[in-house]
């Protein structure tokens, strides 16, 4: 595999097919080719956000946000926002906004809060057909109606390193094929990135 797998990288986000499985296979193939020459998490998540966004657009899925939150040890927050534990350590149970496509979003989310924090704390996918019926849903955008969040686990110990989050403008916007694809993409990214944030 050459360092640069595409004649033009932007071509990777152009989809000839409109069949969901074909589009998703193309995304997974492109993502796999891109990560072969790169392990920096920000680079890989940024291109994955773009691939997802253009795939959902090609499928007319009315996705309004597609991207990532990463687990960070709060050292990047302003000092007044850092909460120290009883032994003085800084909590690392916070998700910070990562690469995404869509409108400006919430910057930090605590483990256990919202759909993202729930998926991160449990280490399992959370599919929300109607966000109004999910207690604690964090409405970064009031137009969002449904959401899916998939945890990203690292290769070493299966530690949660972040979450993949997709929002949709219609209720029940995600089916089993979408979830299966997103879990495969999250698995690929978890294995392919260095998570030394
Ligand atoms: N709705 C999410 C917050 C992140 S935004 O959707 C981009 C949640 O409840 O965790």
For the stretch 9-36, pLDDT in tens is: 888 777 776 789 999 999 999 999 999 9
pLDDT value at residue 15: 76
Ligand 1 pocket mutation, candidates 140, 149, 174, criterion most atoms within 8 A of CB: 140
Q: Is the shortest distance between the CB of 137 and ligand 1 below 6 Å?
A: yes
Look at 61 and 88; give whichever has higher pLDDT.
61
Indicate the Cα dihedral angle 188, 173, 149, 182, nearest 10°.
Answer: -10
pLDDT value at residue 1: 46
Q: Is the shortest distance between the CB of 138 and ligand 1 below 6 Å?
A: yes
Token digits of residue 174: 């995600």
Cβ atoms < 10 Å from Cβ of 64: 20
How far apart are alpha carbons 108 and 63 in whole angstroms?
21
Average pLDDT over residues 93-102: 95
- Condensed to tens digits (0 to 9), the pLDDT of residues 99-146 reads 999 999 999 999 999 999 999 999 999 999 999 999 999 999 999 999
The answer to whether residues 20 and 59 touch, using CB atoms and an 8 Å cutoff, is yes
What burial letters (b/e) apply to 26-54, b meaning 16+ CB within 10 Å? bbbebbeebbeeeeebeebbbbbbbbbbb
Kindly give the distance from the C-alpha atom of residue 156 to the centroid of ligand 1, in angstroms, as a whole number: 27
How far apart are alpha carbons 34 and 117 in whole angstroms?
28
pTM, two decimals, is 0.89
The closest residue, in CA terms, to atom 3 on ligand 1 is 138
- Condensed to tens digits (0 to 9), the pLDDT of residues 34-84 reads 999 999 999 999 999 999 999 999 999 999 999 999 998 666 666 666 555
Ligand 1 pocket mutation, candidates 116, 162, 174, criterion most atoms within 8 A of CB: 116
């Amino acid at each position: 595999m050459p360092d640069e797998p595409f004649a033009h990288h932007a071509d990777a986000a152009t989809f000839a097919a409109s069949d969901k499985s074909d589009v998703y296979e193309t995304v997974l193939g492109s993502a796999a080719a891109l990560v072969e020459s790169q392990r920096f998490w920000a680079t890989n998540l940024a291109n994955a956000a773009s691939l997802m966004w253009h795939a959902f657009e090609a499928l007319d899925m009315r996705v309004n946000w597609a991207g990532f939150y990463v687990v960070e040890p709060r050292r990047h927050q302003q000092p007044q926002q850092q909460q120290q534990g009883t032994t003085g350590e800084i909590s690392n149970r916070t998700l910070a906004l990562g690469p995404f496509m869509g409108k400006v979003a919430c910057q930090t989310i605590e483990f256990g809060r919202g759909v993202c924090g729930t998926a991160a704390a449990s280490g399992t996918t959370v599919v929300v057909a109607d966000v109004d019926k999910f207690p604690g849903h964090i409405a970064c955008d009031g137009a969002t109606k449904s959401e899916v969040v998939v945890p990203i686990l690292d290769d070493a110990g299966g530690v949660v390193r972040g979450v993949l989050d997709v929002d949709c403008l219609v209720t029940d916007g995600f089916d089993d094929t979408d979830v299966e694809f997103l879990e495969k993409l999250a698995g690929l990214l978890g294995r392919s990135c260095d998570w030394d944030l």
